[in-house]
Structures are given as structure tokens and as C-alpha cells.
């Protein structure tokens, strides 16, 4: 059994270690940088770097790296040794403040969407002291932001940090209206990570899984998730071993992995951490994903983080639990005194406004080739954004809008905004799994993000849109005091809720009626990535980012390009893989099997000319027809694919992939899958879903 308190954070240069190892003054200055965002001077950095290096070497580190998040979505690192050879032939280990605060990776091979011309290849990484350094595999990892030399963000973290600054500023303005002192306001994130584990042996036989992360073919298993036995079921021993090791490694890295369980689909699992500040929460999630992938191989397993590795059973998401906290106070907690209630209602109305005004932008942040298979597929939330408040809070909001008193289940007549909201909401917000954005007692749970995503984009948009709501409030309230302020704030809440009521929906998000109703309400319904991305460059959305200094227009445009490119590249890889598998695996195998049946017929006829071979002949006809259909689909796929790769405009290419190629890919898959269940597994070139999903 692991000694958790001893392990936890043992590989992290956290506040505790800093306090222990840094001279008092240095520690104080570093804290100022962390808490107030004050710049760090080089002298302080030198002292910190030295302490960090000594600590890291004691823990066995030999190298350091600036750990950053380029727009590829994954993390990047380049290891540099502490090694510093001396003229007398010996070596010392060195690490300077300059090396701590700034690095210069060759940026030319990271996507930049045309922001950084290749002749100006240099980019630089800058330490994000709000996220702790840690040691991973004998390397001291320093979380950093990644920018071009002209200062444009080339990564996921920079805009997130900028959005957190925006929310800190605007929330402080809003809180000041309530007479609150200046304090540090941050958004908090807890990311529930879903994933699949399958055996390495099966994985290696599936080119599609290896190259695309998902199965491009495969008939659904005889047994899916209908018995509901997997969810929270006993964890199989191999998986349990994996999870234990994962916990230990994550705890050492200071990741508070808290909950682990089997998920709904066979071979699917989930890990949920305890939430923390958004930027750190996202760093931790990325570390978790990396550790999952690496550790699985030690157990003969492969961790699939794709949003939809298998058709016909649930895919994997990553619920983004999000809240705002000031000091140690959760601002989305209704609280239990009247003053808190009004503040809560302002915050709530702010979120509702933010999500309604920027629904398309928020939906854009979760658009990816992988997630297109989830959203709107009756297992994950639909592609339409709406907010679930639950019955009680929903009724309170209705009453507020109607200007009526609310008589709650607690049977308290309430004069809203003055009286106390009873502390019932936490328990009575029941689970609505169909809602993309649900209030869950003291936080919102954004359920659209896919399992493979970096959550920075989603949180950057949430934070920025929320900063805008808070700014709107503060602009209207500043200068008002006492009862005048209370009345004005209350009126703002009422007006905001009425203006944005359309985004609130407590019903079944899977139903067809909702799709129609949402259209009547004017809510956006962008069904795939190609349709969802263009709103990124809408003037309204660019204006939002620029207003809060989160992204410049050039940065927005470059990110839009990167996203388009990534989508097109992924579908291109899928199409190529599909064609290759059809040509080299499926079509030959089906043809060989048809010949085998033909041989059977001949040998039976030779042995007993009078015996009927009708069964075999019918089977042969069926197989041969299937082969023709699969070949036809292959030809259509190849023709269309070749046509699309010639398209020059990236958006047009994405549109063609989404609307023209993907339907053909679906047909090709269908034709092959139909044959899979007619042909013995010994004659089938790849392992079936039955085999992959159910293992000991
Ligand atoms: P449930 O999914 O049952 O609601 P929890 O309430 O424990 O489970 O929370 C699920 C996730 O939400 C966890 O990762 C948790 O840390 C996170 N979470 C809880 N409170 C907050 C908060 N204020 N801000 C962000 N995330 C939170
Ligand atoms: Mg949850």
C-alpha cells in the first residue's frame, strides 16, 4: 500500500519546498510574482534556479526542460543537461536564472498558422511560475508559455493565462461594487478524464487504431453496454494494477487523482482529480494523459484517448468542471446570507449571458475530428449549447424573470435578492447527462470537451466571455452604493436573465423536439468541425478577444488556420488509412475467402456431383456481392479523396471532407462491416470488437 502523504507532491517544486529551500526574501518575491503577477527579476530567478537545480539533482534529475503546449494539442519538451564541462576536465551541474525563465526552442516545426514565417524560426518559452516545476523521468520540467519573438502566442497556455488575468480584473471590479477588498480571483478546473484500455496484442493488429486512434472498421460487439454492468463495476486485475501505478506516479507529481472507476462502455474507464486553478488543472490533466499512455505499456495495455475509438458504444469525453473563486470563496456557491445570494445571482446571470452570447465560440472550442463522432450522437451532449439549471434553480430564475416571489420546495416564501436562498441546490440539482453545460450545485460542468483535447481553448473562451459579463455589470454599477446598488444589481440580474433565457433548457437534450425547439429559439447547431470553426473569426468574437487582450486578430486568424489544418490532416490520414486497409487487408481477405467457398463447391461437386451445393452457392453470391459493394465504395472513396486533396482553400477542403468524404467513408465501413459477420474470424484480417473489448 502506498503512503500517500509521503508520496504526494514529492516530485514537485511546490510552495512547501520553495519555503524550505529559498532564502526568505527570495521566497517572498517569488510569491508576489505568483500571486500578483509581478515580474520576476533576474537576481531572484538566479537564486530560485539554483535551489531548484539542487533539489532536482537530489531527486535524481540530470536534465531540465521547458515544458510547453504548442498548438498540436499535446505537450512538448526538449531536454537539456545540467552538465557543464570545466576546463580541467571535470564537470559541474549548472542551471541559471536565465535558463529558468526563458528558453529558445526552434519553433519552426510547430504549427503557427502562418504567424511565424520560417525564416524567423525562433520562438521563446517563458516560465509560468503559477504552475509548479516538477520532475518527470529524471528531467526537471518547467511549465512555460510559448511565444514568437514578436510576442504572439504560439501555444495553448498563453491565452489561457491572459483570460485568467481578464477575469481577475473584471471580477475584482464587480466584487468591489459589493464592497469587497481587492483579492485574487481565479477560475478553477477539475477535468474528468475518460479513456479506454485494450490489450497491446490486439492493438498491434489494427492499423486503424495505430494510425488514427480509432477503428475505421468493425461490426459492433455481440454485447455492448446494455447490461450496464461495466459502469462502476469491479475493476479487472490488469487494469487495477495499471490504475494503482498511475495513482502513485500522479501523486508524486502533485496531481490529486481522486476518483477512478469503470465507465459505461466495456473497456472504458475514468479518472477524476480534485480541482485546482485552471492553468494548473490543465497542466495536470495533460500530465495525467501522458502518464496514462506511457504506463499502460508496462501492463501490456494501450490507453486510447480518442473520442470515439469504437462505433456503437460510448465514446470518451472530458467533463470540464468550472467555477470562479475569490480568495478561498467559491463564487458560484449560493452561500447562506443575503449578501452572498445577490452576488451569486449576479455571477449566475453572468455565466448565462456569457454562454448565450458566445455559444458558437464555446462550441468551436470543442470541435475536432474525433469529437464530431460524439457530439449529437445520443451518448454525449448534442452539438447545441444550452444550460441546465435543475428544477429548483430553474424555478427561481423563472420567478425572477416574471418578477414573482418564489415559493420553493423548502416552503420558504422568498423575496429574492434580499432573503436567503436555502442551501438545497447542491442536493437537488439532479443529473441531466444530456446537458452540455450543467449547474451542479456550486460549479458548472461543461460536458462537450472530448477526451483527447487540451482544455485550454474551452476555458480561455469561458473565462473571457465571463470577464465580459462581469465588465458589463461593473460598468453599470460602479459608483452606486447601499440600497441603490442592491436595487440596480437586482435589476441587472433580472434583465440579464430575461435577455438570455433562451439558453436555459432543463429537458432532454437528445430529443428531436429539442433540436426543433432550439432552432426556434435561434440557438446555433453546428454539427461538425468544418461548420463550427468559421465563427472563430467572426468580428464579434475577434472583438471579444481583443477587448480583453486575450488574442489579437492575427492570433485568432492563425489559430483558426491551425485548427482547420489539423482537421483536414486528420481526415486525410483516416482516408488514407482506410484506403490502404481496404486495398491491402479487407478486399484481398474477402476475395480469398470467396475463392475458398468456390473451392469447397468444386470439391463437393467433384466428390458427389448430384449433391446440392445451394447453401454454399448462396453464401458465395452474398460474399461476392459484398465484395463488389466494398470495392465500389473503395473506388468512390479514392476518387473523392484525390479530388479533395487538390482543394487549395483550407475551409473549403474541410467542408468537402466533412460533407462529402465522410459519408463515403461511412458507406465503405458499412459494406466491410456487413461482411465481417459473414466471414469466419480465422479468415478475417483483423481482430473483432468482441475480442478487443472483452479481455481478462
Ligand atoms: P460529481 O461529478 O459527482 O459532481 P464532484 O462534485 O466530486 O463529482 O466533482 C467532479 C469534479 O468536479 C471533480 O474533478 C472535482 O474536483 C470538480 N470540482 C468540484 N468543485 C469544483 C469547483 N469549484 N471548480 C472546479 N471544479 C470543481
Ligand atoms: Mg461529472
> Are 455 and 307 spatial neighbours (Cβ–Cβ below 8 Å)?
no
Does residue 66 sit in helix, strand or coil? strand
- Our mutation pick for probing the ligand 1 site, out of 189, 190, 282, counting the most ligand atoms within 8 A of Cβ, is 190
- Our mutation pick for probing the ligand 1 site, out of 257, 321, 433, counting the most ligand atoms within 8 A of Cβ, is 321
pLDDT at residue 415, rounded to an integer: 45
Atom of ligand 1 minimally distant from the CA of 275: 16
Alpha-carbon distance of 388 to 675, in angstroms, equals 43
Of the ligands numbered here, which is closest to the C-alpha atom of 273?
1
pLDDT at residue 1, rounded to an integer: 64
pLDDT at residue 413, rounded to an integer: 37
Task: Please compute the mean of the pLDDT values over residues 428-433 and round it to a whole number.
Answer: 61
Q: Ligand 2 centroid to 272 CA: how many Å?
A: 8
pLDDT at residue 57, rounded to an integer: 96
Q: Ligand 1 centroid to 446 CA: how many Å?
A: 11
Atom of ligand 1 minimally distant from the CA of 191: 14
More confident residue, 148 or 318: 318
Residue 400 has pLDDT above 90, yes or no: no
Shortest-distance Cα residue to atom 23 of ligand 1: 323
- Our mutation pick for probing the ligand 1 site, out of 185, 258, 259, 275, counting the most ligand atoms within 8 A of Cβ, is 275
Of the ligands numbered here, which is closest to the C-alpha atom of 275?
1
Residues 6+ apart with CB under 8 A from 457: 156, 365, 366
pLDDT band with cut points at 50, 70 and 90 for residue 414: very low
Q: Ligand 1 centroid to 275 CA: how many Å?
A: 6
Q: Ligand 2 centroid to 232 CA: how many Å?
A: 13
Atom of ligand 1 minimally distant from the CA of 192: 14
Shortest-distance Cα residue to atom 14 of ligand 1: 190
Atom of ligand 1 minimally distant from the CA of 440: 4
Give the pocket of ligand 1 (CB within 6 Å). 188-190, 192, 272-275, 321-323, 330, 440, 442-443
Give the chain's mean pLDDT.
91
pLDDT at residue 426, rounded to an integer: 47
pLDDT at residue 89, rounded to an integer: 93
Residue 427 has pLDDT above 60, yes or no: no
Task: Please compute the mean of the pLDDT values over residues 638-657 and round it to a whole number.
Answer: 98
Q: Ligand 1 centroid to 24 CA: how many Å?
A: 35
Shortest-distance Cα residue to atom 22 of ligand 1: 323
Span 255-273, pLDDT tens digits? 999 988 888 889 999 999 9
Give 407-438 as a DSSP string.
E-TT--EE-TTTSPPPTTHHHH----TT-SEE
Q: Ligand 1 centroid to 407 CA: how many Å?
A: 29
Of the ligands numbered here, which is closest to the C-alpha atom of 192?
1
Residue 121 has pLDDT above 70, yes or no: no
Q: Ligand 1 centroid to 276 CA: how many Å?
A: 10
Does residue 526 sit in helix, strand or coil? coil
Alpha-carbon distance of 507 to 505, in angstroms, equals 6
Of the ligands numbered here, which is closest to the C-alpha atom of 282?
1
The sign one gets for the Cα dihedral 395, 397, 399, 402 is negative
CA within 13 Å, CB half, 374: 28
Q: How many whole angstroms from its chain centre is CA 546? A: 24
Of the ligands numbered here, which is closest to the C-alpha atom of 278?
1
Q: Ligand 2 centroid to 233 CA: how many Å?
A: 17
- To which H or E segment does residue 301 belong? strand 301-304
Residue 278 has pLDDT above 90, yes or no: yes
Q: Ligand 1 centroid to 431 CA: how many Å?
A: 13
Beta bridge mates, 93: 83
Other residues' Cβ atoms within 10 Å of the Cβ of residue 310:
25
Residue 404 has pLDDT above 80, yes or no: no
The sign one gets for the Cα dihedral 229, 234, 239, 243 is positive
Which of these, 327, 330, 352, 356, lies nearest to 343 by C-alpha position? Answer: 330
The answer to which of 15-29, 86-100, 306-320, 426-440 has the lowest mean pLDDT is: 426-440
Shortest-distance Cα residue to atom 4 of ligand 1: 440
Percent of the chain scoring above 90 in pLDDT: 75
pLDDT at residue 420, rounded to an integer: 45
Task: Please compute the mean of the pLDDT values over residues 183-195 and round it to a whole number.
Answer: 97
Cα first-last separation, the chain = 24
Atom of ligand 1 minimally distant from the CA of 332: 23
pLDDT at residue 36, rounded to an integer: 78
pLDDT at residue 77, rounded to an integer: 87
Residue 421 has pLDDT above 60, yes or no: no
pLDDT at residue 74, rounded to an integer: 81
Residue 596 has pLDDT above 90, yes or no: yes
> Are 609 and 602 spatial neighbours (Cβ–Cβ below 8 Å)?
no
The residue to which cell 452570447 is assigned: 357
Task: Please compute the mean of the pLDDT values over residues 198-202 and round it to a whole number.
Answer: 95
pLDDT band with cut points at 50, 70 and 90 for residue 433: confident
Residue 409 has pLDDT above 70, yes or no: no
The residue to which cell 470563496 is assigned: 329
Q: Please, which contacts does 242-248 make with residues 24 or more away whose CB atoms are closer than 8 Å? A: 242/197, 242/295, 242/296, 242/298, 242/299, 242/301, 243/269, 243/271, 244/2, 245/295, 245/298, 245/299, 246/271, 246/291, 246/292, 246/295, 247/2, 248/2, 248/7
Shortest-distance Cα residue to atom 1 of ligand 1: 440
Of the ligands numbered here, which is closest to the C-alpha atom of 459?
1
pLDDT at residue 340, rounded to an integer: 67
Shortest-distance Cα residue to atom 6 of ligand 1: 440
- To which H or E segment does residue 148 belong? strand 139-148
Alpha-carbon distance of 644 to 142, in angstroms, equals 42
- Our mutation pick for probing the ligand 1 site, out of 443, 458, 459, 466, counting the most ligand atoms within 8 A of Cβ, is 443
pLDDT band with cut points at 50, 70 and 90 for residue 419: very low
Q: Ligand 2 centroid to 318 CA: how many Å?
A: 9
Cell of 27: 521566497
Residue 521 has pLDDT above 90, yes or no: yes
Alpha-carbon distance of 643 to 268, in angstroms, equals 38
pLDDT at residue 583, rounded to an integer: 97
pLDDT band with cut points at 50, 70 and 90 for residue 95: very high
pLDDT at residue 337, rounded to an integer: 62
Task: Please compute the mean of the pLDDT values over residues 392-405 and round it to a whole number.
Answer: 83
DSSP 8-state class, residue 406: E
pLDDT at residue 390, rounded to an integer: 87
Beta bridge mates, 319: 192
> Are 76 and 106 spatial neighbours (Cβ–Cβ below 8 Å)?
no
Span 211-257, pLDDT tens digits? 999 999 999 888 777 777 777 777 788 899 999 999 999 999 999 99
pLDDT at residue 548, rounded to an integer: 98
Alpha-carbon distance of 372 to 382, in angstroms, equals 10
pLDDT at residue 139, rounded to an integer: 96
Q: Ligand 1 centroid to 524 CA: how many Å?
A: 28
pLDDT band with cut points at 50, 70 and 90 for residue 411: very low
Q: Ligand 2 centroid to 625 CA: how many Å?
A: 47
Pairing of strands 102-103, 123-127: antiparallel
Alpha-carbon distance of 236 to 591, in angstroms, equals 39
Atom of ligand 1 minimally distant from the CA of 323: 24
Surrounding ion ligand 2 within 5 Å at CB are: 319
Q: Ligand 2 centroid to 99 CA: how many Å?
A: 40
> Are 677 and 221 spatial neighbours (Cβ–Cβ below 8 Å)?
no
Kindly report the backbone phi and psi dihedral angles of residue 75, in degrees, each rounded to the nearest multiple of 5, phi listed first.
-100, 155
Which of these, 319, 317, 305, 313, lies nearest to 228 by C-alpha position? Answer: 313
Shortest-distance Cα residue to atom 7 of ligand 1: 274
pLDDT at residue 87, rounded to an integer: 93
Shortest-distance Cα residue to atom 3 of ligand 1: 440
Atom of ligand 1 minimally distant from the CA of 274: 16
Other residues' Cβ atoms within 10 Å of the Cβ of residue 460:
27
Alpha-carbon distance of 658 to 652, in angstroms, equals 10
Other residues' Cβ atoms within 10 Å of the Cβ of residue 424:
16
Cell of 72: 498540436
Span 127-142, pLDDT tens digits? 988 889 999 999 999 9
Beta bridge mates, 147: 124, 153
Task: Please compute the mean of the pLDDT values over residues 197-208 and round it to a whole number.
Answer: 96
Residues 6+ apart with CB under 8 A from 330: 188, 323, 324, 442, 443
Tell me the C-alpha to C-alpha distance, in Å, between residue 88 and each of 85, 91, 93, 94. 8, 9, 15, 16
Residue 119 has pLDDT above 70, yes or no: no
DSSP 8-state class, residue 76: B
Task: Please compute the mean of the pLDDT values over residues 475-483 and round it to a whole number.
Answer: 94
Q: Ligand 1 centroid to 284 CA: how many Å?
A: 15
Span 42-77, pLDDT tens digits? 899 999 999 999 999 999 999 999 999 999 878 988
Q: Ligand 1 centroid to 445 CA: how many Å?
A: 8
List for the chain the helix, strand, coil content (%; round to 5).
50, 15, 35
Alpha-carbon distance of 348 to 501, in angstroms, equals 12
Amino acid at each position: 500500500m502506498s503512503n500517500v502523504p509521503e508520496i504526494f507532491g514529492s516530485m514537485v517544486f511546490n510552495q512547501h519546498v520553495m519555503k524550505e529551500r529559498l532564502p526568505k526574501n527570495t521566497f517572498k518575491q517569488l510569491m508576489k510574482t505568483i500571486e500578483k503577477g509581478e515580474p520576476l527579476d533576474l537576481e531572484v530567478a538566479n537564486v530560485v534556479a539554483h535551489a531548484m537545480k539542487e533539489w532536482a539533482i537530489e531527486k535524481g534529475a540530470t536534465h531540465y526542460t521547458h515544458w510547453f503546449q504548442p498548438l498540436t494539442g499535446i505537450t512538448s519538451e526538449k531536454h537539456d543537461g545540467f552538465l557543464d564541462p570545466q576546463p580541467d576536465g571535470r564537470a559541474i551541474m549548472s542551471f541559471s536564472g536565465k535558463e529558468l525563465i526563458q528558453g529558445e526552442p526552434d519553433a519552426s516545426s510547430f504549427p503557427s498558422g502562418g504567424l511565424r514565417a520560417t525564416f524567423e524560426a525562433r520562438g521563446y518559452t517563458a516560465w509560468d511560475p503559477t504552475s509548479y516545476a516538477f520532475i518527470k523521468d529524471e528531467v526537471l520540467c518547467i511549465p512555460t508559455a510559448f511565444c514568437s519573438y514578436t510576442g504572439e502566442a504560439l501555444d495553448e497556455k498563453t491565452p489561457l493565462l491572459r483570460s485568467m488575468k481578464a477575469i481577475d480584473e473584471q471580477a475584482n471590479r464587480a466584487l468591489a461594487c459589493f464592497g469587497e477588498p481587492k483579492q485574487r480571483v481565479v477560475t478553477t478546473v477539475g477535468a474528468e478524464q475518460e479513456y479506454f484500455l485494450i490489450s497491446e496484442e490486439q492493438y498491434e493488429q489494427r492499423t486503424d487504431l495505430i494510425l488514427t486512434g480509432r477503428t475505421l472498421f468493425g461490426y459492433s460487439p455481440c454485447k455492448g453496454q446494455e447490461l450496464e454492468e461495466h459502469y462502476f463495476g469491479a475493476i479487472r486485475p490488469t487494469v487495477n494494477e495499471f490504475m494503482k501505478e498511475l495513482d502513485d506516479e500522479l501523486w508524486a507529481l502533485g496531481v490529486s487523482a481522486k476518483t477512478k472507476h469503470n465507465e459505461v462502455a466495456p473497456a472504458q474507464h475514468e479518472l477524476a482529480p480534485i480541482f485546482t486553478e485552471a492553468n494548473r488543472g490543465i497542466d495536470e490533466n495533460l500530465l495525467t494523459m501522458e502518464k496514462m499512455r506511457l504506463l499502460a505499456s508496462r501492463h501490456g495495455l494501450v490507453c486510447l484517448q480518442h473520442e470515439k475509438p469504437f462505433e456503437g458504444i460510448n465514446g470518451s469525453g472530458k467533463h470540464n468542471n468550472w467555477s470562479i473563486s475569490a480568495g478561498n470563496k467559491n463564487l458560484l456557491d449560493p452561500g447562506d446570507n443575503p449578501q452572498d445570494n445577490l452576488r451569486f445571482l449576479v455571477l449566475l446571470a453572468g455565466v448565462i449571458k456569457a454562454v448565450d452570447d458566445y455559444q458558437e465560440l464555446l462550441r468551436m472550442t470543442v470541435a475536432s475530428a474525433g469529437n464530431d463522432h460524439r457530439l449529437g450522437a445520443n451518448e454525449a451532449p448534442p452539438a447545441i449549447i444550452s444550460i441546465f439549471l435543475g428544477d429548483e434553480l430553474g424555478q427561481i430564475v423563472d420567478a425572477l424573470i416574471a418578477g414573482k416571489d418564489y415559493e420553493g420546495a423548502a416552503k420558504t416564501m422568498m423575496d429574492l435578492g434580499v432573503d436567503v436562498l436555502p442551501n438545497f441546490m447542491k442536493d437537488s440539482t439532479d443529473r441531466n447527462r444530456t446537458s452540455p453545460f450543467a449547474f451542479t450545485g456550486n460549479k458548472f460542468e461543461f460536458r462537450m470537451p472530448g477526451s483527447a483535447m487540451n482544455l485550454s481553448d474551452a476555458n480561455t473562451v469561458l473565462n473571457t466571455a465571463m470577464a465580459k459579463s462581469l465588465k458589463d455589470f461593473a460598468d453599470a454599477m460602479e459608483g452606486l452604493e447601499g440600497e441603490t446598488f442592491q436595487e440596480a444589481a437586482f435589476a441587472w440580474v433580472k434583465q440579464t436573465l430575461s435577455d438570455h433565457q433562451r439558453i436555459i433548457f432543463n429537458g432532454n437534450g437528445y430529443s428531436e423536439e429539442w433540436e426543433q425547439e432550439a432552432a426556434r429559439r435561434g440557438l446555433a447547431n453546428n454539427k461538425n468541425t468544418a461548420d463550427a470553426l468559421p465563427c472563430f473569426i467572426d468580428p464579434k468574437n475577434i472583438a471579444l478577444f481583443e477587448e480583453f487582450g486575450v488574442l489579437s486578430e492575427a492570433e485568432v486568424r492563425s489559430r483558426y488556420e491551425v485548427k482547420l489544418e489539423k482537421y483536414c490532416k486528420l481526415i486525410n490520414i483516416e482516408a488514407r488509412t482506410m484506403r490502404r486497409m481496404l486495398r491491402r487487408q479487407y478486399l484481398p481477405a474477402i476475395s480469398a475467402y470467396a475463392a475458398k467457398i468456390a473451392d469447397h463447391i468444386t470439391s463437393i461437386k467433384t466428390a458427389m456431383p448430384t449433391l446440392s451445393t445451394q447453401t454454399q452457392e448462396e453464401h458465395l453470391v452474398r460474399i461476392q456481392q459484398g465484395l463488389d459493394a466494398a470495392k465500389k465504395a473503395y473506388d468512390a472513396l479514392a476518387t473523392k479523396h484525390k479530388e479533395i486533396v487538390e482543394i487549395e482553400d483550407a475551409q473549403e477542403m474541410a467542408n468537402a471532407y466533412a460533407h462529402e468524404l465522410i459519408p463515403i467513408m461511412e458507406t465503405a465501413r458499412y459494406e466491410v462491416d456487413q461482411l465481417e459477420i459473414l466471414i469466419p474470424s480465422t479468415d478475417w484480417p483483423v481482430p473483432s470488437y468482441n475480442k478487443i473489448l472483452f479481455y481478462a
